[in-house]
């Protein structure tokens, strides 16, 4: 019990420290474009334009597009306006990383916007559905389908996540809880982890560090936390790299749970494909992994 209390205090202190780092929290208030901003305009018909604002009113946006010249856009046909940091590398991309809230397995602290969602399939058997209920709260739920082939009830997953962001949207704080349920007749296995993490960066290039407390219905709360280190980078408009490692050794588990993945990420505006390797500390050799995600 002493070790558990110490762990809780450590996680609480880390959480308070991260809140202090975040400082000026912005509850995702919409930023308004102004003259001189570099923006991307998404139209209701699916087209997009990217350039520098020359003038803007409630009815029309006039923008300078490199190689094209001045374009005047009727705001009634605009679906979304994305404002770029003038020093951000994201300006060179036609669209943001569509799977910005997720590494291969773990979550970043950048939450989905309200109404955004995706379906991710990992190695055919892992099925994950994510949806943003608000700009600060999203839920991922899913199941594994391998058990169905054996006539068993599938393992179920759920992961609610609450996120906050600072004013320039470069520092993000997340709190969530991953829970998994396995039903086998009268023998039910319930386990998961409560976690907190912080992400530094934007949707295309970021680093995440997190800490969580694993638990199991029959094993209680672990004395030792699990640590997350992850990151993603955009190499070209369609290719990125994603890596993560989890460091854990809960006292109720028989073996270490320390493992990691390294993947190339291939992106279109509506789909993401990850291909790479998984390695565990107790494993002899890494083995290939893959996933596919559809954005809706």
- Among residues 146, 157, 59, the alpha carbon closest in space to that of 107 is found at 157
- What is the domain count for the chain? 2
Higher pLDDT, 180 or 250: 180
160, 238: one domain: yes
Q: How far apart are alpha carbons 171 and 18 in whole angstroms?
A: 10
Helix, coil or strand: residue 264: strand
51, 163: one domain: no
62, 105: one domain: no
- Indicate whether 100 pLDDT > 90: yes
Task: Tell me the CATH number at 71.
Answer: 2.30.30.100
- Confirm whether 179 is domain-assigned: yes
Tens of pLDDT, residues 1-50 = 444 444 444 444 544 444 444 443 333 334 688 888 888 888 888 788 88
224, 154: one domain: yes
Residue 251 CB neighbours (<10 A): 12
- Indicate whether 164 pLDDT > 90: yes
Q: Which domain holds residue 267?
A: 2-27+96-295
171, 283: one domain: yes
Sequence-distant (≥ 6) Cβ neighbours of residue 20 within 8 angstroms: none
Domain boundary among 84, 119, 154: 84
Task: Tell me the CATH number at 109.
Answer: 2.40.160.40
132, 73: one domain: no
- Confirm whether 89 is domain-assigned: no
Q: How far apart are alpha carbons 52 and 91 in whole angstroms?
A: 11
pLDDT band at 159 (very low <50, low <70, confident <90, very high): very high
- Confirm whether 33 is domain-assigned: no
- Averaged pLDDT for residues 144-163: 88
- Confirm whether 19 is domain-assigned: yes
272, 178: one domain: yes
Q: How far apart are alpha carbons 35 and 47 in whole angstroms?
A: 22
Higher pLDDT, 27 or 146: 146
119, 200: one domain: yes
- Among residues 243, 248, 258, 251, the alpha carbon closest in space to that of 289 is found at 243
Tens of pLDDT, residues 195-236 = 999 999 989 999 999 999 888 887 778 777 889 999 999 999
């Amino acid at each position: 019990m002493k070790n558990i209390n110490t762990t809780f205090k450590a996680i609480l202190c880390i959480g308070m420290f991260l809140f202090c780092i975040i400082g000026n929290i912005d509850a995702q208030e919409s930023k308004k474009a102004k003259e001189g901003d570099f923006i991307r305009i998404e139209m209701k018909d699916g087209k997009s334009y990217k350039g520098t604002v020359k003038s803007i009113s409630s009815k029309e946006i006039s923008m300078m597009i490199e190689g094209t010249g001045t374009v005047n856009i009727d705001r009634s046909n605009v679906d979304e306006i994305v404002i770029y940091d003038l020093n951000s590398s994201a300006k060179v991309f036609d669209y943001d990383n569509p799977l910005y809230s997720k590494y291969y397995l773990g979550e970043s602290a950048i939450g989905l916007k309200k109404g955004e969602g995706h379906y991710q399939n990992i190695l055919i058997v892992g099925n994950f559905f994510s949806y943003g209920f608000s700009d600060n709260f999203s839920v991922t739920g899913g199941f594994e389908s391998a058990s169905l082939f054996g006539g068993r009830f599938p393992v179920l997953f759920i992961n609610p996540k609450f996120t906050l962001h600072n004013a320039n949207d470069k520092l993000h704080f997340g709190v969530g809880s991953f829970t998994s349920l396995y039903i086998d007749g009268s023998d039910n296995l319930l386990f998961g982890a409560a976690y907190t993490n912080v992400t530094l960066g934007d949707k295309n290039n970021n680093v995440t560090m997190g800490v969580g407390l694993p638990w199991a219905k029959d094993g209680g709360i672990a004395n030792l936390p699990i640590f997350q280190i992850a990151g993603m980078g955009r190499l070209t408009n369609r290719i990125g790299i994603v890596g993560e490692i989890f460091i854990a050794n809960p006292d109720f588990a028989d073996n270490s749970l320390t493992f990691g993945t390294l993947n190339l990420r291939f992106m279109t505006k509506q789909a993401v494909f990850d291909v790479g390797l998984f390695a565990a500390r107790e494993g002899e050799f890494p083995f290939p992994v893959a996933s596919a995600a559809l954005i809706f």
